[in-house]
């Protein structure tokens, strides 16, 4: 059986200068790149992306920053691109989530055609087809097809998409670990509460 690293939402809009920046996001992207280069523990590496087309009340002009948010990670935009500090050379697959809903969990994500994945400072562009081939393959499908039974979750943000992804992973039966040095959150207290919740749910937090 295999182990996969799941990199959650290390995108321009969630890093400094983005519309919904998490403090330390850009540095975290670099640190995750170092983890990838130094670790031989992972058989597969996947990344998730918020990829919003029309997520309804998830976007708001008067966001409460709990259930509604400023516009971010619009499909095809520069903000939705993976941050340039994240080394994508060894990423095996990308999963986009939240086209028509909030999409906090990476397990809501669907496989993206590799040639459409934007990184760093590339010009923004609309995907050739938002419902392109591969869109019916979920993250869970892909992991099971590749005999993955353990996952390690890193990325942004601890108190939202990392939390949701890790909870879905443990509930789906994967051995699940969150590396606290490789996540960053919107709110420090809420992030600690999320990590405690994950530990109580059976996730290894280390």
Q: Determine contact, residues 190/163, Cβ cutoff 8 Å.
A: no
**CA distance linking residue 86 with residue 81, whole number of Å:** 11
Give the active site residue among 73, 99, 161, 168: 161
Is residue 97 part of the annotated active site? The answer reads yes
Give the active site residue among 87, 97, 108, 140: 97
**CA distance linking residue 117 with residue 195, whole number of Å:** 30
Is residue 136 part of the annotated active site? The answer reads no
**CA distance linking residue 191 with residue 162, whole number of Å:** 10
Is residue 9 part of the annotated active site? The answer reads yes
Give the active site residue among 9, 108, 150, 168: 9
C-alpha separations of 85 from 17, 49, 198 in Å: 14, 15, 27
Catalytic residue numbers, as ranges:
9, 97, 161
């Amino acid at each position: 059986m295999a182990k996969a690293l799941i990199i959650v939402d290390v995108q321009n809009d969630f890093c400094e200068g983005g519309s919904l920046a998490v403090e330390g996001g850009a540095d975290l992207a670099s640190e995750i790149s170092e983890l990838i280069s130094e670790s031989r523990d992972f058989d597969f590496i996947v990344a998730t992306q918020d990829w919003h087309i029309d997520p309804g009340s998830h976007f708001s002009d008067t966001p409460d920053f709990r259930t509604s948010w400023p516009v971010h990670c619009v499909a095809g935009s520069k903000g939705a691109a993976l941050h340039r500090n994240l080394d994508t050379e060894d990423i095996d697959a990308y999963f986009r989530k939240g086209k028509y809903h909030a999409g906090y969990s990476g397990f809501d994500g669907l496989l993206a055609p590799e040639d459409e994945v934007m990184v760093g400072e590339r010009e923004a562009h609309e995907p050739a087809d938002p419902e392109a081939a591969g869109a019916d393959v979920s993250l869970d499908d892909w992991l099971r097809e590749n005999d993955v039974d353990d996952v390690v979750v890193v990325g942004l943000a601890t108190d939202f998409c990392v939390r949701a992804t890790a909870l879905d992973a443990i509930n789906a039966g994967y051995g699940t670990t969150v590396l606290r040095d490789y996540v960053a959150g919107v709110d420090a207290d809420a992030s600690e509460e999320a990590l405690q919740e994950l530990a109580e749910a059976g996730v290894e937090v280390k």
